[in-house]
Structure 1
Amino acid sequence: MIVIAQARVGIHDPHDCTDASDELPILHAIYDTLVRRVGQDFVPHLARQWSVTQDARHWTFHLEPDVVFHDGTPCDAEAVAASLQRMAREDKGYTLGSPAVWRQYLGGASYRIVDPVTLTVTLAHPMADLLDVLEQGFIVSPAVFGPLDTKDYTAQIGTGPYCLTSVAADQITATRVATHFAGLPANTAVTWRRVPDSNDRLALLQEGKVQIANSLDFDGSRILGDMRHVFLSPVAIIYLLNAAKGPLADGRLRQALALAVDRDAIVQTVMQGAAEPLHGFVSPRHFGTGVGTGRTCDRTRARKLLAEAGYADGLTLEVDCPTRLPDEAEQLTTALAEQLSHVGISLNVHIHPEREAYAHMVRRKEIRDLCVFDSSPMSTYRVLYEKIDARVAGAWWQGYHNPDVERLIDQGRGTIDRNKRAEIWRQAYGLLQEDPAWLTLYNPLRVVGIAGQHPDFEMPADGVIDVARLPALEGIAP
């Protein structure tokens, strides 16, 4: 057995949307999905192959034959359809402050069981990036739908490479499935253990009491040497800007903010180097990322834009700031205020200690001029659709409207050629450089410690540990 030490341990409804790097590894161990993300692309998993019509609405999935859930029942086309339908329920797909995430994409879809291993999904609207959703579409045994609906989260039955064996407040254990269709994981069992303090996680790894320590302190973990693995998180640390009303409804002022910030200095002063400056609305790991020039620091141009907008003598902005998620939000806002003062912008800060209430405030479009937030979907399309498109006015949309970007969203969602679609998203990226919806700052650098020498180890692009593909760690001394 291997033990993974992490800050939190928990497992909830697999059809709720989460970006929690402590929970997703558990879900991906217990459950399979139709496809797996590898880098910026997808590879077969429960679906050994698939096809889509030119209108990007009709998808056919050919499933792996003879796959069974951990309770011995068949994982066939009917069971897959049942899970996708459950995902799309209005009461599912909840993430912090935002209900029914998956319904936006799977709502109104129809399903046809062609045969036990062939399923056709017809979407209500074109979506060439459907695999971005299905990558988190955990296929759950229909036998546990009832218990899960009553919030019995010990009822977890999938087809994954590990089978859940125990759930406690501070520890979850799963054992290897010997007959998993995708092959045998290297480690016979895995325990996720709650260890809230990062120094304690580090010490346990050094003492050989755990084999993996997640979310370690960036500098303190240097003592691990070759056991220290650094990776870029695709989560974007940003300020959402109120483009519906107030000063930032003027695109010149949004651009002035983007130009007034020295992101390299923010990374050093706030993150002590544990981040990479973010020069666009998605990370470099996202599909269809562009380059553009709208995120370099140019305070001369920022002052000019302020003057053009009527604020040559200065501007005060009202800022909403949580105390966690991101945990450095208050320090970040202090650093931002110092930088913006150089172009005549001052910040009046309002602190919010209740994070979930804060998220609901943001979802209700009740922010002041700007607010500290993050953007986590690994899908470029999802970010554009849920957060940028004024016609959708999604949970985190704050009044931004750019008809040219929306034209590209429509074009991209109906373009099934992946290379052509990447170019469309790059064009949208460029437009959002010159007319920013948010103030984007950085992607954090994260650290995971792994016992032994594993020079070829790489974290997946989404920053989630894939326990089924870990190297053999059982019995390794520190």
Structure 2
Amino acid sequence: MSLPSIPTIALEKIDFLPPDRVTDDCSVLTLKSLVLEPMLRWLDGEIRPGLFAKWRLDDSGCRWQLHLPQGKAFHDGTPVLAQHAAEFITRILDSRDMFGMPWSYARYLAGAQITADGPTLTIETPKPFPDLPEILSEFYLPRMDAAGRPVLGTGPWQVEDFTAGQQVLLRRREDGRQLRFVAMPLAEDRLAALQAGQVQAATHMERLEHILRGIDGFAWQEQTSTLSVMAYMNGFEGAFTDPNARLAANLALDRQRLAEEVMGGLAQPSDTIVSPWHFGHEAGGLSPLRYDPEEARRLLALSEGPREVVLRSPTYMPEGAPEIARFMAEAWNAIGFETRVEIAEDRPQYARDIGEKRMGDAAIFDSSPHSTFRVLDDKISSLSRAVWWQGVSDAQVDAGFDAARHLTDTTERATAYGRLLRRLQAAPPWAYLFHPVLCLAHVPALQGLSLDHKGILRIA
């Protein structure tokens, strides 16, 4: 099958979002990664150069200096200054997420002094903050075009034509090669367009209603995501205030069967709060979480809490959540819980409910940050008590995190985080489920496409 002069790729959405909007949406991040550059680049738990070519933390652990390479310019020729980055970060600190909730970045950088001098950005924090590069890897610096759109970047591809929500035409600056991206929200529409020859590649094929593991005549790629699908467990009241009940709920789950029967094989069982590609996971040396219903029954018998459990679930995000909830309820009931599933139809309100601790006894959700620090600070630490923390306190975890987050030696910090990840496997605050497997289909003639662990489409 020959390629058209301008190949077309179908994404779920086409958008660059306002400059102060940080996102974990794979379609948006694909476009941002081609046209813009992150301030630093995250790759499977390691930090690499991005917009800034060099960075250094001083001996105090509080003063970061980041340096732009010589000649760095936006696509319209405007030189990039560190001041642009300083102003961009300041705007983000005052912004809110897609659900109208405040970002955690303002808490991370509370009291920080952010200054710029030509090509050098300096960030000074009141306490050591060695995980800051992971935060900066989430920030993509744009410049507004004449129409007020954040589409001028410093990346290898330049926007030639853009209709928000519909399509974007990109040109590779090095060789003039062009690609068109179109928005197709439904996976079934992306599949039909691919088979009809209207597009030459389609992402997120794992979201088809009828699961596929390949398409005849097309290349097929699968990549496990850093996203963690899990269920928060209520540590404020009810059955899961007891650590024995929380561990029992985890041991009751046959994650491999969940991955195969509910997710059609497009899932990798979780073993702790983060994925195998997060910072510190390798150092943790974790074994897979076991399925042990007999031990689960024994632990539950030790708990004096109630057996009645309300398990809340959205209809999507994560995909297949209602089916996951039914699987969990069956497993929990088999060891002695009495589980009632509640389905929430309004996904944004569901997220607000969880943030405001209206979650029932457990609530299916997903955890998207690729920063181990962020997951610990936003969702686990009872010292931070951030918006996604659900009341489970563990003095050993709190003390370990407070010490680990200030270690400036990368190896020592990875080792310390690894110990925390092992502790959180043994004493879980969540019901751990799986990491989704993402799927890409394309015509064989379209070469150089790949998915990374964050679900971003990379183009060689």
Moved more, 119-128 or 241-250: 119-128
Gaps of 5+ in 2: 1-5
- Report the Cα distance in structure 1 between the residues aligned to 2:230 and 2:148, rounded to whole angstroms: 33
Q: How far 1:283 sits from its partner (Å)?
A: 1.1
Runs ≥4 residues deviating over 6 A: none
- 1:209 paired with 2:198, answer yes
Which of 427, 433, 437 is the matching residue for 2:425?
Answer: 433
Q: How far 1:153 sits from its partner (Å)?
A: 7.0
Check whether the contact 1:241–1:248 (CA below 8 A) recurs between aligned residues. Answer: yes
- Report the Cα distance in structure 2 between the residues aligned to 1:23 and 1:433, rounded to whole angstroms: 32
- What is aligned with 1:85? 90
Superimposed CA distance per residue, residues 158-177 of structure 1 (whole angstroms, 9 cap, x where no aligned partner): 32323334333542314336
- What is aligned with 1:113? 116
Superimposed CA distance per residue, residues 127-160 of structure 1 (whole angstroms, 9 cap, x where no aligned partner): 211111111112233x67xx9xxxx873433323
- What is aligned with 2:226? 234
- 1:32 paired with 2:37, answer yes
Which of 177, 201, 213 is the matching residue for 1:188?
Answer: 177
Which of 287, 308, 320 is the matching residue for 2:302?
Answer: 308
- 1:104 paired with 2:93, answer no
2:335 corresponds to which letter in structure 1? V
- 1:10 paired with 2:10, answer no
- Report the Cα distance in structure 2 between the residues aligned to 1:382 and 1:51, rounded to whole angstroms: 21
1:296 corresponds to which letter in structure 2? R
- Report the Cα distance in structure 2 between the residues aligned to 1:384 and 1:348, rounded to whole angstroms: 29
Count of aligned pairs: 450
What percentage of residue pairs aligned between the two structures are identical? 28
1:168 corresponds to which letter in structure 2? T
Which of 169, 176, 186 is the matching residue for 2:171?
Answer: 176
- What is aligned with 1:465? 457
Gaps of 5+ in 1: 179-183, 472-478
Q: How far 1:273 sits from its partner (Å)?
A: 1.1
- Report the Cα distance in structure 1 between the residues aligned to 2:237 and 2:19, rounded to whole angstroms: 38
- What is aligned with 1:338? 330
- 1:198 paired with 2:187, answer yes
Which of 139, 142, 148 is the matching residue for 1:140?
Answer: 142
Corresponding residue SS for 1:223: coil
- What is aligned with 2:243? 251
- 1:287 paired with 2:290, answer no
Which of 157, 164, 183 is the matching residue for 2:159?
Answer: 164
Corresponding residue SS for 1:47: coil
- What is aligned with 1:476? none
Check whether the contact 1:11–1:153 (CA below 8 A) recurs between aligned residues. Answer: no
- Report the Cα distance in structure 1 between the residues aligned to 2:128 and 2:148, rounded to whole angstroms: 34
Check whether the contact 1:59–1:120 (CA below 8 A) recurs between aligned residues. Answer: yes
- Report the Cα distance in structure 1 between the residues aligned to 2:85 and 2:288, rounded to whole angstroms: 44
Q: How far 1:73 sits from its partner (Å)?
A: 2.4
Which TM-score applies when normalising by structure 1?
0.88
Corresponding residue SS for 1:192: strand
Q: How far 1:429 sits from its partner (Å)?
A: 0.6
Moved more, 80-89 or 238-247: 80-89
Superimposed CA distance per residue, residues 50-80 of structure 1 (whole angstroms, 9 cap, x where no aligned partner): 1102332210111112222234322112212
Which of 374, 387, 392 is the matching residue for 2:379?
Answer: 387
2:112 corresponds to which letter in structure 1? A
- Report the Cα distance in structure 1 between the residues aligned to 2:454 and 2:328, rounded to whole angstroms: 27
Superimposed CA distance per residue, residues 228-276 of structure 1 (whole angstroms, 9 cap, x where no aligned partner): 0100011111110001122211111111101111111111221111111
